[in-house]
Structure formats: structure tokens, C-alpha cells
Amino acid sequence: MVRIVLIDDDPISTFVTEKLISKNIRFPHQIFKYDSAVNALKEMDNIQPNYLFLDLNMPEMTGWDFLEEFEPCQSSPEVYILSSSVDERDIDKARNYSVVKKYLSKPLIKKYIKTIFN
């Protein structure tokens, strides 16, 4: 079973991302959704995700803060930043994190899904 984590404080974005993933991958999967990076961080060791989609601009703990504290212990998930920001500084900053596979702009599109999960 593939475990996918969505961390985004925007419920509409999370809904769209979840539906797009569920509709376009054909293997057994489970999606865990968090509107708080703080809560997600607490549960990462229990979930051990294969894929993680992370928003940057969230209250309390930003996506950047999450990346600073996130230390996968047993699994190394593919982390995708999924942000509405198209600021080159954010894109460049994401490259500095070895755990980040790619920076994607919202909304997630079918083409990205096929590339990520194939």
C-alpha cells in the first residue's frame, strides 16, 4: 500500500489534489491529509509516507519550517512542494533541500501525477 501525505491549510486545494491523485493512480494507496504542518510532523514516523505533497504558506508552521524539522527515520519519501508561489527565490530555495524531489505549482495537474507515480 502506497502512503501519500498532503499538507496544506487550504481545504479546496487538498480536496482537488486528493481527487486528482485518486482518479489517476491505479495501485492501492492511502491518503493522509493535514491542514497543519505541526500535526503532520508529529505523525510522520507512524505513517512513513512514500510521497509527501507540501504547501509552503501556512500559519503556525510553514512548509520551510516543516522541512527544517522533518527527519525521516525509516523511510525516505519523495517530497514535492506544491505551492501557489511562482517566486524564483522559493524555487531556488527548494533545491537546497535534498529531500525535495520537485517544486510544483498549484493546482496539481494530471501530467504531474503521471510523471510522479509512474
Write down the pLDDT at residue 100.
Answer: 95
> Are the C-beta atoms of 80 and 100 separated by less than 8 Å?
yes
The mean per-residue pLDDT over the stretch 29-50 comes to 95
Helix 110-117 and helix 11-24: axis angle, to 10°? 60
Residue 82 has pLDDT above 90, yes or no: yes
The full set of domains in the chain, from first to last, is 2-117 (3.40.50.2300)
Q: Average pLDDT of the chain?
A: 93
Q: What's the pTM value of the predicted model, to 2 decimals?
A: 0.94
Which amino acid is present at 18?
E
